[in-house]
Amino acid sequence: MRPSPAPQTPAPAPAAPPVLLSGGNPQIAKALGNAPVQAYIDALPDWKRDAARRLDALIENHVPAVRKAVKWNSPFYGVADQGWFLSFHIFTHYIKLTFFLGTSLEPNPPGGKTKDARWINLRENEFDEAQLASWIRQAAARPGWSGS
């Protein structure tokens, strides 16, 4: 006589995809670490997902000890004991990449009129990897924004 098989537990239902807010920006809960940033990137629509993956990899390549978080539905990148140096946010036709102390970068990113921050709007098929890498290295070498 064979023993009856153990009852099988059904597989958990797949998690619902994140809600996409205005412009395709994913609604991801505030959290520290790589996992929420990757969930954010995975939820992006169209060309923005590929561009965000390239941007995330570029940051990791040039800042090996980078810290990551999602705050206010945007990925943040920083260095321990220095603060956050950049963030990006999704809009309908572009990705806004903000350097918190962008006025200290050479050359200054083109967008912004605030005291310290400067940004660049990345559009489909516009990705100047060499310039972005330079700004990323410069920004990560400076004290960053320490806001919560």
Q: Residue 8 corresponds to which amino acid?
A: Q
In this structure, whether the domain defined by 22-140 belongs to CATH 3.90.1150.200 is answered with yes
Backbone angles phi, psi at 23, to 5 degrees: 75, 0
The Cα 59–Cα 107 span in angstroms is 18
The tens-digit pLDDT sequence of the chain (148 residues) is: 555 555 555 555 556 777 878 788 898 899 999 999 999 999 999 999 999 999 999 999 999 999 999 999 999 999 999 999 999 999 999 999 999 999 999 999 999 988 999 999 999 999 999 999 999 999 999 988 887 6
Task: Give the pLDDT confidence score for residue 14 in this predicted structure.
Answer: 55
The Cα 14–Cα 135 span in angstroms is 39
Taking Cα atoms as reference points, which of 71, 77, 32, 85 lies closest to residue 57?
77
Report yes or no: 74 and 89 within 8 Å, Cβ to Cβ.
yes
Quickly count: other Cβ atoms within 10 Å of residue 2's Cβ: 4
Task: Give the pLDDT confidence score for residue 3 in this predicted structure.
Answer: 55
Task: Give the pLDDT confidence score for residue 59 in this predicted structure.
Answer: 98
- Kindly give, in sequence order, each residue whose CB lies less than 8 Å from that of residue 26, ignoring residues fewer than 6 positions away: 18, 19, 20, 39, 40, 43, 44, 73, 90
DSSP string, 40-96: HHHT--HHHHHHHHHHHHHHHHH-TT-EEEEETTEEEEEETTTEEEEEEEE-SS-EE
Taking Cα atoms as reference points, which of 59, 89, 73 lies closest to residue 29?
73
